């Protein structure tokens, strides 16, 4: 009988299998990244959104000019409320004597009637806008005391705007100017009285 020359089957080199495994892993990684990129949430300094970042303009609270020209507001008929501003913001200003007793931070009993008119205007013209409440004093007393008093008065007005006026507390911020940025001269009694006030500034959303 003829003898059959049977050779053992050669196995593939080990490094070939390793190479195939590495290539497979790389392909899977690229596929996984490709799927994720379609639904990636983009987070920026401005806002967070899916596939698109939307910039949100924040008010420049330090750039408000309290000596701006007076304007008219049909919803504010009380002459003790001064309305001013420009195309970027509107300011509603009430004197200390309207809202508070001298050197006090508790609202007068009739302050609510004035604030209701301002809230009515805010709800009509600036729904959802950022609102800044600024407390100002004259230069009598120490700068520290004036800064604290301005903050306390601004806080009292904010509390009323939120609890009674129904404004969103997350949109209302407190700012104390103290004796800084006076609207009149502190050299006269009339000027000092004018400088003691609270201003409500509305920044419409852009």
33-43 tens-digit pLDDT:
655 544 433 33
What 8-state DSSP symbol labels residue 170? Answer: G
Task: Specify the pTM.
Answer: 0.71
Report the C-alpha gap between 127 and 104 in whole angstroms: 31
Query: Which helix (DSSP H) or strand (DSSP E) does residue 17 occupy?
Result: helix 14-37
The CATH architecture that domain 61-203 belongs to is 2-Layer Sandwich (3.30)
Q: Where are the domains of the chain?
A: 15-41+46-50, 61-203
Does pLDDT of 46 surpass 70?
Answer: no
Report the C-alpha gap between 43 and 160 in whole angstroms: 35
Average pLDDT value for residue range 153-159? 97
Per-residue model confidence (pLDDT) at position 48: 39
Mean pLDDT of the chain: 83
Strands 41-43, 48-50: pairing is antiparallel
Per-residue model confidence (pLDDT) at position 186: 94
Task: Kindly report, residue by residue over 89-140, the tens digit of the pLDDT.
Answer: 999 999 988 999 888 999 998 899 999 999 999 999 999 999 999 999 999 9
Of 101, 130, 115, 100, nearest to 204 by C-alpha is 130
Strands 172-178, 130-136: pairing is parallel
Average pLDDT value for residue range 16-36? 71
């Amino acid at each position: 009988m003829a003898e059959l020359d049977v050779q053992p089957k050669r196995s593939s080199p080990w490094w070939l299998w390793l190479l195939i495994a590495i290539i497979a892993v790389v392909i899977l990684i690229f596929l996984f990244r490709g799927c994720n990129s379609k639904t990636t949430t983009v987070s920026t300094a401005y806002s967070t959104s899916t596939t698109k970042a939307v910039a949100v303009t924040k008010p420049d609270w330090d750039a408000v000019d309290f000596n701006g020209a007076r304007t008219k507001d049909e919803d504010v008929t009380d002459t003790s409320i001064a309305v001013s501003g420009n195309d970027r913001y509107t300011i509603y200003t009430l004197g200390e004597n309207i809202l508070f007793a001298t050197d006090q931070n508790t609202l007068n009993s009739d302050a609510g009637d004035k604030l209701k008119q301002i809230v009515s205007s805010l709800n009509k013209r600036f729904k959802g806008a950022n609102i800044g409440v600024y407390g100002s004093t004259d230069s009598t007393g120490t700068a520290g005391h004036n800064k604290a008093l301005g903050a306390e008065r601004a806080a009292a007005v904010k509390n009323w705007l939120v609890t009674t006026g129904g404004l969103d507390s997350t949109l209302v911020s407190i700012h104390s100017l103290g004796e800084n940025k006076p609207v009149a001269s502190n050299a006269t009694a009339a000027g000092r009285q004018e400088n003691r006030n609270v201003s409500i500034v509305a920044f419409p959303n852009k």
